[in-house]
Every structure is written in C-alpha cells, then in structure tokens.
Amino acid sequence: MATVSTSVWTDVLGHVKLNYPHIMRGWFSQLSPTGIEAGTMVVVARNGAQVRYLDKHCKAAFAEAGQAATGRLITATFQADAQETHQGDVLPSLGGTADGTLLLNPDYTFENFVTGPCNRLAHAAARAVADNPGRAYNPFFVHGAVGLGKTHLIQAVCHELRKQDANVKCHYISCEMFTNDFIEAIEQGALHQFRYRYRQADALVIDDVQFLADRERSQEELFHTFNTLTQSQRQIILSADCAPPEIPSLKERLVSRFNSGLVTFLDRPCLETRMAIIHKKAQLRCIELPEDVVQFVARRINTNNREIDGALTMLDAVSQMDSKPITLKLAQQALGKAPARLVTVPTIMDVVALRMNVKVSDLQSKRRSKSITHPRHVCMYLARELTTLSLEQIGGYFGGRDHTTVLHAHRTIMRRLDEDPDMSVLLKETELEARHACA
Ligand code: ADP
Ligand code: MG
C-alpha cells in the first residue's frame, strides 16, 4: 500500500476546508490516512460515529481532495480505528441502523456542550445519568424549545455511555421512529421482535416524545416498555418541547411515569453562553472568527442555537467566495444589520395594562382572578416572543414568578391563538404599540 505523506494529507484537508467548509469538523485533525491501495485512499477515524458522518457527508469531497493532492484518480474510504471500533457504535447488538436507529452526531458530546445559567442543571443531571445509568435519575426527562440543545445533550449521554462501556446497548431513537417502527411491527405481525429489540436495551433514549400526542397505541406500548426497563434499573432518557403534563393527550399514567425521575428544562441561553457556543461551533468547524463577529452573531441569534450553524456556514461561504477574512463588516453584509430594537418588559406591561384595563401593579401581584391572570399571560407571552430574556428573567418582572409559570402562560396563549382569531389581532396590535413605544 502506498503511504500518504504528511504534506499530501495536509493538502487533502486544506482542499476539503476550502471547497467544502460546511462539512469540515474540528475532529478531522484526528483522522489519519493509512495509505492508498488500488486507487482507494483509506482514512482511519476514531470511532464508528465519525465513520458514519464521513461516509454520509464526505466521501465525494475527500475523493476530490485526494485527486487534487496526488494528481491520481482515487476514491476515499473510511474505517474506525481497530482499538476503538465500538466507541460511538450504534447499537451493535440491536442490529446497527437497519432497525431504524438514528445515527448519533459525533459532534454532540459533553465536551462540545457549552454550559451557562440556562442549562447548568440539565447538564449536571445528564452527566450524573451518564456516570450512574439506571440509578441517578430514571427516567431523565429534558424539555425546552426548539434549538436549545435537547438532542445534543441526550446524545452526549449516549456517547458517554458508550465510551465507558463499548458493549452497552444504548438505543437512541426519535419518537417518530419509535411509533413508525411500532406500526410497522403490528402490520407485519412482528411485535415480538419489536419488543425484544426495545426491551433488552441498557439505555433507551427517545427524542421528541411530544410526538406521542394522540398516538394511543404507541403510548400504551411505550408504557409497557418503560415499565420493563425501569424495573430492571435500565436507563430511560426522554426529550420533548414541553413538560410531560403539557404533552397533548398524553395518558395520565405516562405523565406520572415521565415525572417519576428527574424533569429538567433548557432555557434560552444568555448572551455570554451564546458567544461561548459560537466559539465552540467555529472551533469545531475550523472557522476563525474575530471577537466582534462572535458578539455580532450572538446578538442577532438569540432564540434558536440551530441558527448559529447556518450563520457560520453563510459567513464561511462569503469569506471563501470573496477570498477575504471574516470581519465585522463582512458579517454585517452577509447577515444583515442588527435586529430590530427589542421591546422591554415594562413597556409591554404598560401597553397591556392600558389596553386590557388593569393596573401594572396587579400584573405584578399574586392575584389570580381571571381578569388579572389573562392580561398577565398576554404580557408573559409577548415578553417571551419579543425579548431575549430567559423565562426566569421574565418571571422576575411579575413578582418573582418561576420559569414554569411563564412557560405555562406562553403555552396557554398559544392554545388560545389556535382557538380565538381575536387573540392574534390583540397580540399584533399590542406588539406594534410596544415596539412603537420602545422606538
Ligand atoms: P433541540 O433538540 O433542542 O431542538 P439541538 O440539540 O438540535 O436542539 O441543538 C441545535 C443546535 O444548537 C445544535 O447544533 C447543537 O449542537 C447546538 N447547541 C444547542 N445548545 C448547545 C450548547 N449548550 N452547547 C453547544 N451547542 C449547543
Ligand atoms: Mg432535537
């Protein structure tokens, strides 16, 4: 087998970074080429999760880079390091991905998870679960809005469990897949195999269980799976976009099962945490970002961390295209100017109080009569929608209420929005007034 010299390998990685920046990952520096044989460049990765990422996203890019660097027509193939083959493997004993098990994202590890006041508790609990599966908190339930890191955190537990025990049967799956798999098993008369597959897992990790809403039979099945696993102290980890009691039409007995371990919550990250996440993401993707750009991006993206990836891809692409480094000016051009001026909670309260005929002091009081709670809910909803404050910070404006109260208020108004067309008019008008008052 012909060896790949260090300079050729540097060229390969350089070519990938230059032409395919969006697939670039920090851990590419851990890859090593073993050589070129029969026109195939063999690249060794640390674990199975990395190999799957490379197979899925990088084959063509590495082949092209290999050709550019060697001047020969070659393809690329990826293998896991023999000593670490099992690390990051998806359920060897549950049949790999053939059963629909989702792939773990190799970037979703604890090392890459940034902590801050918004997620410290959930992170600490996830760590405890990984260190002591089946015993620390069982089940472990994480909820929070989209893009706040639920999938990242629960996959980090999976990575950790596999790091500690290469043979652990850690079954990570989306709830949608669980229900599809279940329906298919019924249709094919293969319930026995389905149950065997799920009930022999050491850890069952189901993402986005709000998908169980209105799926009675899947709920029933999960209830029995749940009991079987927890009775033998095997770990269950669940995520959802809301707390168990708020999942529509979730059967009471499942609500109480989900509540029986630890329910934690991911809040919106504050500016510092967002900046740290941007740093981490840029580092993972080998993108150099000056501090003022990090701050600029963090100020623009304040509700969904998923948008950080999109912003980084955009900045990287524009900088490659123009052959210019990423600067604040480039970032402003690529991502647009700063977002519209934000509204403050006191202004929202003033506007709502005037419109809905209540006193601001009532909104802040402990009074719970309907004539007060409804305007208070409206305020909290608008505060959540129009400011970047965390739920806890919003609660602070309303007599120190906690985050669950604000979350409940937000969801109550969301439900009202579905049922009552006047509600959206009221909200829109109040928003416009509040924006006007803050301009
Ligand atoms: P969710 O499942 O809650 O919708 P994800 O776990 O998919 O959110 O996260 C969205 C993106 O934001 C991912 O790229 C994830 O890595 C990133 N992210 C979210 N929270 C954090 C964090 N605390 N540290 C690092 N990255 C984060
Ligand atoms: Mg998710």
Distance 173 CA to ligand 2 centre (A): 11
Strand-pair partners of 33: 43
305 lines ligand 1 (CB under 6 A): yes
Q: Tell me the pTM.
A: 0.73
Report the alpha-carbon distance of residue 363 to residue 379 in Å, rounded: 8
The tokens for 117 are 């006041």
Query: Which percentage of the chain shows pLDDT scores above 70?
Result: 94
Residue 101 has pLDDT above 60, yes or no: no
Which listed ligand is nearest to 147 at the C-alpha?
1
What three-state secondary structure class fits 327? coil
146 lines ligand 1 (CB under 6 A): yes
Distance 105 CA to ligand 2 centre (A): 12
Which listed ligand is nearest to 156 at the C-alpha?
1
> Which residue has the CA at smallest separation from atom 5 of ligand 1?
149
The tokens for 62 are 């590495």
pLDDT at res. 293: 96
Confidence bin at 233 (pLDDT 50/70/90):
very high
Distance 281 CA to ligand 1 centre (A): 10
20: nearest Cα among 287, 339, 337? 287
113 lines ligand 1 (CB under 6 A): yes
Distance 310 CA to ligand 2 centre (A): 16
H-run or E-run covering 204: strand 203-207
279: nearest Cα among 76, 112, 86, 425? 112
212: nearest Cα among 265, 154, 254? 254
279 lines ligand 1 (CB under 6 A): no
- Tell me the one-letter amino acid at 402: D
CA-derived radius of gyration, the chain: 25
Residue 33 has pLDDT above 60, yes or no: yes
End-to-end distance of the chain based on CA atoms, in angstroms?
A: 68
Q: Is 2 left (phi over 0), alpha (psi -120 to 50) or beta?
A: beta
> Which residue has the CA at smallest separation from atom 23 of ligand 1?
114
277 lines ligand 1 (CB under 6 A): yes
119 lines ligand 1 (CB under 6 A): yes
Over residues 327-355, the mean pLDDT reads: 84
User: Any residues with CB less than 8 A from the CB of 323 and at least 6 apart, and which?
Assistant: none
Distance 414 CA to ligand 2 centre (A): 21
Mutate to test the pocket of ligand 1, among 176, 306, 308, 313 (most ligand atoms within 8 A of CB): 306
The tokens for 96 are 């790999």
Confidence bin at 93 (pLDDT 50/70/90):
very low
pLDDT tens column, 244-255: 998 988 999 999
pLDDT at res. 406: 93
116 lines ligand 1 (CB under 6 A): no
Burial track 344-369 (b if 16+ CB lie within 10 A, e otherwise): bbebbbbbbbeebebeeebbbeeeee
- The better pLDDT of the pair 206, 342 is held by 206
Considering the chain, what is the average pLDDT of its residues? Answer: 89
45: nearest Cα among 12, 78, 23? 78
Distance 151 CA to ligand 1 centre (A): 7
Report the alpha-carbon distance of residue 335 to residue 315 in Å, rounded: 8
> Which residue has the CA at smallest separation from atom 11 of ligand 1?
306
Which listed ligand is nearest to 153 at the C-alpha?
1
User: Any residues with CB less than 8 A from the CB of 92 and at least 6 apart, and which?
Assistant: 86, 167
Report the alpha-carbon distance of residue 133 to residue 127 in Å, rounded: 10
Distance 6 CA to ligand 2 centre (A): 39
312: nearest Cα among 283, 350, 337? 283
User: What single DSSP character describes residue 30?
Assistant: G
CB 269 within 8 A of CB 301: no
Which listed ligand is nearest to 310 at the C-alpha?
1
Over residues 318-328, the mean pLDDT reads: 88
Give the number of the atom of ligand 1 that is nearest the alpha carbon of residue 118: 23
Strand-pair partners of 62: none
121: nearest Cα among 267, 333, 337, 219? 267
Distance 51 CA to ligand 2 centre (A): 22
> Which residue has the CA at smallest separation from atom 25 of ligand 1?
113
114 lines ligand 1 (CB under 6 A): yes
- Rounded alpha-carbon distances, angstroms, from residue 234 to 128, 134, 168, 423: 14, 5, 11, 46
214: nearest Cα among 181, 259, 247, 175? 247
Residue 91 has pLDDT above 60, yes or no: no
Around Cβ 56, how many Cβ atoms within 10 Å? Answer: 10
348 lines ligand 1 (CB under 6 A): no
pLDDT tens column, 382-405: 999 888 888 988 999 999 998 999
Query: Which percentage of the chain shows pLDDT scores above 90?
Result: 59
pLDDT tens column, 115-169: 999 999 999 999 999 999 999 999 999 999 889 999 999 999 999 999 999 889 9
306 lines ligand 1 (CB under 6 A): yes
197 lines ligand 1 (CB under 6 A): no
